[in-house]
């Protein structure tokens, strides 16, 4: 099937695309299932090498996986693009031909197909990872706000409610962008608002609006054996308790020729390296040197800055992001592991890379204003004007603002291909 990397494929489309590619390039690509998801979907693996120069398991290999987090679908596009880049350029590009003659690529483009299907549904539901109910096995919906598309427009935006004590006001130059009320308050006549994610309120008492966890509370990228612990949010019942992670760990471990690992995520426009749990001073000096040399190449090819997760992205050093896939590859297999965080909306809008605290504090008002203006030119509809809506519990409200899934968490369709293209060359260079 034809695919121009300008949209996100649903699961069945992705499987069809992989199988079609295998039919067209039988000497380079084989496709198989390496396990099943919670809901029984096959976890697909593409094996790419020049079979005329040896079988896949006789060559050093690079493993790439994507979409372990349900809403980070740009990573899945990137994984599919790497597959196509290798196949289509084998005959014409000396570097690709040399890579596939002497190396193997294992690419799992959708580690978490169940969660991604919910995110890409006509009426999307956003989870961190798997759809399996956890930690409450019956999927109990606790009282409070549950995020979802309630106005039927296929997006999840922001609800605002006029409130004289609200903490938000419209940006003076752009009403679609909301900014916090400052310490001096607001001028008389300026309307203040409360903001909530779009959704409905379970067991609303008419007054309080708790913010419960998603009933599907797992984070599959905290379920790997490296540094696993119950204190980490979403880590699961035990290491590899989830079928998606269990299958991935077993698939990589069964291929001892794997000597490079890269997990594709979003967002921020970062190349992230181990460790997630300890300082650089505790890493073997040679390993740290290799990581930094690879980082130079990665930044040169992709423009993404490289960071240590622990040193640069962890505010509270006592609360680390353990149980991650790249840490597992490095600490348990001795493989240099990376996480690529695709897409930096701030960089595209301003020319300045997102700061490393973006995950904690979000964009500044000026940054969001710039992204809003940029999206009007390159991804119209990403920011919507406020429209009235009769909420089933709250009554008269307004819905509007950013479609975070399509402009902040992922590259818009007009930029998908150009965003992921450079990373195919980085994948080859790491081999």
φ and ψ at residue 145, rounded to 5 degrees: -80, 125
Q: Is the peptide bond before 407 cis (omega within 30 degrees of 0)?
A: no
Domain boundaries, the chain: 11-121+217-343+414-429, 144-214+376-407
Cβ atoms 304, 231 nearer than 8 A: no
The reported pLDDT for the residue numbered 183 is 93
Q: Which residues are registered as beta bridge partners of 193?
A: 162, 168
The reported pLDDT for the residue numbered 137 is 74
The reported pLDDT for the residue numbered 108 is 99
In the numeric block, which tokens belong to residue 176?
Answer: 């679609």
Axis-axis angle for helices 285-302, 416-429 (nearest 10)? 140
> Mean pLDDT, 10 residues at a time, over the chain (431 residues)?
93 98 98 99 99 98 98 98 98 97 99 98 96 84 93 98 97 98 93 98 94 92 92 92 99 98 97 95 97 96 97 88 94 97 98 94 96 98 98 97 98 97 91 71
| Residue reference for tokens 């008492």 | 205
| Residue reference for tokens 């299932």 | 33
User: Could you name the CATH architecture of 11-121+217-343+414-429?
Assistant: 3-Layer(aba) Sandwich (3.40)
Cβ atoms 72, 270 nearer than 8 A: no
Residue 256 DSSP one-character state: T
Q: Which of 264, 239, 227 is nearest to 62 (CA)?
A: 264
pTM: 0.96
The reported pLDDT for the residue numbered 128 is 95
The reported pLDDT for the residue numbered 247 is 99
């Amino acid at each position: 099937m034809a695919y121009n990397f300008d949209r996100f494929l649903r699961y069945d489309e992705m499987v069809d695309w992989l199988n079609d590619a295998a039919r067209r390039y039988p000497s380079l690509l084989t496709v198989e299932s390496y396990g099943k998801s919670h809901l029984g979907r096959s976890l697909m693996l593409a094996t790419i090498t020049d079979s005329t120069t040896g079988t896949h398991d006789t060559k050093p290999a690079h493993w790439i996986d994507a979409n372990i987090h349900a809403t980070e679908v740009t990573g899945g596009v990137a994984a599919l693009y790497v597959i196509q880049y290798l196949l289509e350029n084998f005959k014409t590009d000396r570097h690709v031909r040399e890579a596939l003659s002497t190396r193997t690529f294992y690419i799992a483009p959708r580690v978490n197909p169940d969660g991604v299907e919910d995110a890409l549904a006509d009426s999307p539901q956003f989870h961190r990872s798997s759809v399996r109910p956890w930690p409450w096995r019956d999927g109990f919906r606790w009282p409070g706000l549950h995020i979802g598309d309630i106005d039927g427009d296929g997006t999840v935006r922001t609800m605002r409610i006029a409130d004289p004590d609200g903490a938000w006001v419209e940006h003076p130059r752009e009403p679609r962008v909301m900014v916090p009320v400052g310490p001096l308050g607001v001028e008389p006549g300026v309307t203040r608002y409360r903001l909530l994610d779009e959704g409905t309120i379970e067991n609303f008492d008419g007054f309080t609006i708790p913010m419960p966890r998603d009933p599907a509370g797992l984070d599959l990228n905290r379920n790997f054996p490296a540094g696993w612990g119950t204190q980490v949010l979403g880590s699961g019942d035990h290491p590899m308790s989830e079928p998606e992670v269990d299958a991935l760990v077993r698939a990589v471990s069964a291929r001892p020729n794997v000597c490079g690992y890269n997990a594709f995520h979003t967002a921020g426009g970062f190349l992230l390296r181990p460790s997630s749990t300890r300082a650089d001073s505790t890493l073997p000096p040679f390993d740290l040197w290799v990581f930094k040399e690879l980082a130079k190449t990665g930044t040169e090819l992709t423009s993404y800055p490289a960071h240590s997760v622990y040193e640069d992205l962890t505010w509270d050093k006592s609360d680390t992001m353990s149980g991650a896939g790249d840490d597992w590859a490095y600490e348990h297999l001795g493989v240099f592991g990376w996480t690529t965080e695709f897409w930096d909306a701030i960089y595209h809008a301003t020319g300045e890379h997102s700061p490393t605290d973006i995950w904690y504090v979000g964009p500044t008002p000026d940054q969001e204003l710039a992204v809003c203006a940029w999206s009007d030119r390159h991804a119209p509809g990403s920011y919507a004007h406020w429209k009235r809506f009769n909420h089933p519990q709250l009554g008269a409200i307004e819905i509007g603002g950013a479609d975070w899934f399509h402009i902040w968490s992922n590259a818009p369709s007009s930029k998908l291909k150009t965003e992921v293209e450079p990373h195919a060359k980085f994948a080859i260079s790491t081999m």
